[in-house]
Structure 1
Amino acid sequence: MSTGYARVEHALKILGARRPRIGEAVAASIGPDRNMHEARLAKDHLGIVHLIVSLPAGRSRFAPPLGDVLPAKWLDEDFEDGVKTSLDVASTDPSLTPTFLSLVGEMLSRVDETDDPCIDELMRVLSSWREALSREGRTLSRQRLIGLFGELTVLARLAEEDPVQAKSAWRGQAGYRHDFFLSNALEVKAYTGTDSPSVEIHGAHQLDPPIGASLHLLTLRLEESPAGETIAELIERIDALGLPKGLLFERSTDESPIASDDAVAFVVAEERLFQVSSDFPGVRASVLGAEALTAVSRLRYSLLLDACPGRIDADLLPAVLENL
């Protein structure tokens, strides 16, 4: 018996060789040996892939917990032995179809092991995937909070000296690639942990100095501590220094969200300051050239701090901030 994933691949080849008429779909059976038609993979005339799973006799319909990402509906289908009910789950976003097909393969493999109905294993797989995605979402949220804490920490230091300059320097013009820029630029990265410290670099321009200007990279190692400061407290302190909270939230974007959070408090345990010169490592547009990056998007990579040259005394940070 072939694996669930192999049956999915075979079905895709069958569907790829057929062209459904407008308003119709073509299907290939992928169910277990006991009933190959219990699960089918289908493709409609728009190219949307569907998973159609039979509801066992005597079972009642239910509201599938799938949401908008994988829209689902119940079907009543006519067969030689009567009308049967099936659940039709569609993958409407082409970018998510590979993930959807992997989910289908996992469902089929589970059915082979347990001999349970396909629809039951489908719900179990979806439940486990939702839990995994939820954990990932929480991790991403935490990473965003760590990055935001670092950025706001530097904003507060600037505001302590000159709120007007801090307002002008923070994020510069809309869409600018560095966190702080006037005549010179400063990129701020925050991280946690002590082993092999690294920070995430976004894109091929983040470590490129502005034309005719200098660029420094400041990294902050954060530790959770009840004696520390939360983002909500940072925002209040920045507001009191002359940068209204309204300004902060107006600067919020999907890529760089501003979120008032009082659940976690951090202290800055270590600061590293680097002068980003021509020999500084990283993927940079100025080195590779525009042609090499023509078809590249969403570039992100880790920069290992222990391997980076150009580190200077962190006590020089006030001068760097003054010379932005």
Structure 2
Amino acid sequence: MKGRFRPAVEDRWRDLADRPASSPHRLRTAPLPVSTRSGPPLAAVDHEGHRHLLVPIASGQRVRRGLDGPVLLLRKRPLEDAEVYQSYADLGCLRRDLDDVFTGLCEDVLEEIEGSESESASPTRDAPALKAVHRVLDRWRALFQTSGSPLGVDQLAALFGELTLLARLLEDDPSAHRLWLGPSGNRHDFTTGTDAVEVKSVTGGNALRVRVHGLRQLEAPEGGNLRLVCFRLERATDPASGSSVVDLVARALSLCDDESALLGLLVEAGYRTADAERYRSVLFRVAEERWYAVEKGFPRLTSQDLTAAEVPITVTDVEYTVDLAVEPPHPLSRTRVERYLEAMLVEEGS
């Protein structure tokens, strides 16, 4: 069951933080409720208050190199007391502002370890726990990378709109992240394959002018329907009146039943947790929300339009602007929007 290890991990770290290690070479540790052939993994806190997950490994095993900051650290660490000398894969988080995301990573590691240990009956030296750590890190490490340019304000606004809709869908279906295919290269932001939603965010004044990229973005799926939602966003200066993309990411992760999959989508969308701190001060609020049925009569350019006008489809890199402040088209009622989204969730779950 997803989320069952999170309370235990957070409780251990919270208790350990009250009595951090006394020197740079020491850790305070507490066992976690997972079994491996070499003993339980440990939650740990170092003298600076950084959180660690220690996974027991055989003395001859080697921990993968290359993960040495500035956000995550993975290394081999021996611990001993009066009775036991044990080697561990020490996974640590060097950024306190990323503790919550690190908790999700560690929860994923514990679930992977539990599954790997139960599936592997051979008591070989190559215990499955370390393999589980490496597998989970392969899925998560892109989120913690610091390479690449951070998102600009316009990009954050676009992501804010998509995450606003995603969180709404996740409230009704914790698996709704599977509909968010825009980051993976789909021409529509959300789709079941039959029905789709394209999300546009506009900022600045009362403008409702949306930019359309390409001839297929406002084409409905084959045999299906397309809706366009336009969020008019205003910049906010106070967290009481606005939210950041970081806030929406945290909300979506708390609602989602597959945190790892959602984090992968965020990476594809250009969002990296390592940049989260610089994004916290960029606040938006939704000043207006309009939904439209993209069908006959909606102002758009598509490949079918060019074919009908006898314009060669070899025309490429087409971009244009639609002014939604001019009616028609007329916005949809809230009831019609809710019914459409409900139908998409039913279709996705069937």
Normalised to the residue count of structure 1, the TM-score between the two structures is 0.52
Matched, 1:289 2:303: no
Give the 3 Å change call, closer, same or farther, for CA 319–219 of structure 1 in structure 2. Answer: same
Q: Which amino acid in the other structure matches residue 184 of structure 1?
A: D
Match of 1:199 among 198, 210, 213: 210
Question: Residue by residue, what CA displacement relative to the aligned partner does 1:83-106 show, whole Å, maximum 9, x if unpaired?
Answer: xxxxxxxxxxxxxxxxxxxxxxxx
Question: Residue by residue, what CA displacement relative to the aligned partner does 1:115-148 show, whole Å, maximum 9, x if unpaired?
Answer: xxxxxxxxxxxxxxxxxxxxxx99x821111100
Q: Distance in 2 between matches of 1:193 and 1:205?
A: 27
Match of 1:148 among 146, 159, 175: 159
Q: Distance in 2 between matches of 1:300 and 1:171?
A: 21
Q: Distance in 1 between matches of 2:232 and 2:249?
A: 20
Alignment of 1:23-62 (within 5 A): none
Q: Distance in 1 between matches of 2:169 and 2:320?
A: 28
Q: Which amino acid in the other structure matches residue 197 of structure 1?
A: L
Q: Distance in 1 between matches of 2:183 and 2:210?
A: 24
Aligned to 2:318: 299
3-state secondary structure, aligned to 2:289: strand
1:252 CA drift (Å): 4.7
With 290-299 and 212-221 compared, the bigger mean Cα shift is at: 290-299
Alignment of 1:53-72 (within 5 A): none
Q: Which amino acid in the other structure matches residue 224 of structure 2?
A: A
> Are the equivalent residues in 1 in contact too, given 2:307–2:313 (CA < 8 A)?
no
> Are the equivalent residues in 1 in contact too, given 2:232–2:288 (CA < 8 A)?
yes
Q: Which amino acid in the other structure matches residue 170 of structure 1?
A: W
Give the 3 Å change call, closer, same or farther, for CA 270–315 of structure 1 in structure 2. Answer: farther
Q: Distance in 1 between matches of 2:159 and 2:312?
A: 28
Alignment of 1:206-221 (within 5 A): 206-221=217-232
Alignment of 1:76-225 (within 5 A): 141-164=152-175, 166-171=176-181, 174-182=184-192, 183-225=194-236
> Are the equivalent residues in 2 in contact too, given 1:285–1:293 (CA < 8 A)?
no
Q: Distance in 1 between matches of 2:163 and 2:312?
A: 31
> Are the equivalent residues in 1 in contact too, given 2:197–2:227 (CA < 8 A)?
yes
1:323 CA drift (Å): 1.6
Give the 3 Å change call, closer, same or farther, for CA 177–252 of structure 1 in structure 2. Answer: same
Aligned to 1:248: 262
> Are the equivalent residues in 1 in contact too, given 2:158–2:201 (CA < 8 A)?
yes
Aligned to 1:274: 292
Question: Residue by residue, what CA displacement relative to the aligned partner does 1:241-300 show, whole Å, maximum 9, x if unpaired?
Answer: 02555433422577x423542121111111111011122111111221398354333322
Q: Which amino acid in the other structure matches residue 214 of structure 2?
A: G
3-state secondary structure, aligned to 1:292: coil
Aligned to 1:257: 270
Q: Which amino acid in the other structure matches residue 332 of structure 2?
A: I
Matched, 1:317 2:344: no
1:189 CA drift (Å): 0.6
3-state secondary structure, aligned to 1:306: coil
Q: Distance in 2 between matches of 1:143 and 1:173?
A: 16
Unaligned segments of structure 1, at least 5 residues: 1-136
Unaligned segments of structure 2, at least 5 residues: 1-148, 345-350
* Root-mean-square deviation over aligned CA pairs: 2.6
Q: Distance in 2 between matches of 1:156 and 1:195?
A: 25
Larger radius of gyration: 1
Give the 3 Å change call, closer, same or farther, for CA 221–304 of structure 1 in structure 2. Answer: same
Q: Which amino acid in the other structure matches residue 210 of structure 2?
A: V
